[in-house]
Homo-oligomer: A and B are copies of this chain.
């Protein structure tokens, strides 16, 4: 049961925001969905964009310019929130734990386990909610930025039957070896579960059936926390089909994301329309 919160015409399509009840997170969740003009005539392919630490669904909608390229390619883009929110949902004073920092896992440890089930939210509740919208769930792919890049890569490698392609902007690439990872995985999960949520370890262990595109800025202020070298090593050692691009001079901001968004959407469109 979706509740339409807002609708803005954009690039001949519509940028909508919905809220709905999530069983997994036991709270109301908000998401954005861009539908290109083609969606008026039938279901269109769907690209999911997962956002990073501190973001809501809205940052990427407003700052990335994704709609322009999605309109050109005739694909829908889904913008989920990054955590459960609202009264009764636990939080932490730090920007990188709790609300805004769900890390796309199903928390097993208290107090987080009551609501922080972002893995199930994305793969079950949100997926189910899309059934009433003009998107073709048989043609999906996934991308994300920073923590959202981590989410995109780990989801895609666990569910290759769902996602035809995966890309990431400056992903948290090796969280079991970084303070952006051990802190959150430690809070949410028993250590036996961590490896299931580390893109570099999953890449070494299983890889991905479809194409992979990674962009990383050389002047990213968080390089030491992101550990892109672990993912590049794993991709190359595995002979994973894909591209790992170090982009000279770019930082971690949305200026970086928006600069390469056209490339990423063209990459996904090729897989989705193919």
Chain A interface (Cβ < 8 Å from any Cβ of B): 8-12, 15, 62-63, 65, 67-68, 217, 219, 249-251, 253-256, 258-259, 262
Contact of A9 among B8, B11, B68, B256 (CB under 8 A): B256
A65 with B65: CB separation less than 8 A = yes
Please report the C-alpha to C-alpha distance between residue A54 and residue B8 in the assembled complex, in whole angstroms.
20
Q: A62-B62, A62-B63, A68-B65 are contacts. A9–B258 as well, Cβ < 8 Å? A: no
Residues in B whose Cβ lies below 8 Å from that of A251: 8-9
Q: How many copies does the complex hold?
A: 2
B219 with A9: CB separation less than 8 A = yes
Chain B proximity of A137: nearest CB distance (Å): 26
Chain B proximity of A28: nearest CB distance (Å): 24
B258 with A67: CB separation less than 8 A = yes
B63 with A9: CB separation less than 8 A = no
Q: A15-B255, A255-B15 are contacts. A9–B249 as well, Cβ < 8 Å? A: yes
Q: Can you show 11 pairs from A to B with CB atoms below 8 A apart?
A: A8-B253, A8-B255, A9-B250, A9-B251, A9-B255, A10-B256, A11-B259, A62-B62, A67-B255, A68-B258, A68-B262
Please report the C-alpha to C-alpha distance between residue A11 and residue B67 in the assembled complex, in whole angstroms.
17
CB-CB nearest in chain B for A11:
B259
CB-CB nearest in chain B for A34:
B255
A62 with B254: CB separation less than 8 A = yes
Please report the C-alpha to C-alpha distance between residue A105 and residue B65 in the assembled complex, in whole angstroms.
32
Chain B proximity of A262: nearest CB distance (Å): 8
Please report the C-alpha to C-alpha distance between residue A12 and residue B263 in the assembled complex, in whole angstroms.
14
Please report the C-alpha to C-alpha distance between residue A259 and residue B15 in the assembled complex, in whole angstroms.
12
B9 with A217: CB separation less than 8 A = yes
Please report the C-alpha to C-alpha distance between residue A256 and residue B8 in the assembled complex, in whole angstroms.
8
- Other A-B pairs beyond A9-B251, A62-B62, A65-B258, 18, CB < 8 Å: A8-B255, A9-B219, A9-B255, A9-B256, A9-B259, A10-B256, A10-B259, A11-B258, A12-B259, A15-B255, A62-B63, A62-B254, A63-B63, A65-B65, A65-B68, A67-B255, A67-B258, A68-B258
Please report the C-alpha to C-alpha distance between residue A30 and residue B254 in the assembled complex, in whole angstroms.
20
Residues in B whose Cβ lies below 8 Å from that of A217: 9
Please report the C-alpha to C-alpha distance between residue A249 and residue B35 in the assembled complex, in whole angstroms.
14
Please report the C-alpha to C-alpha distance between residue A16 and residue B100 in the assembled complex, in whole angstroms.
28
Residues in B whose Cβ lies below 8 Å from that of A12: 259
Please report the C-alpha to C-alpha distance between residue A8 and residue B255 in the assembled complex, in whole angstroms.
7
Residues in B whose Cβ lies below 8 Å from that of A256: 8-10
Chain B proximity of A60: nearest CB distance (Å): 11
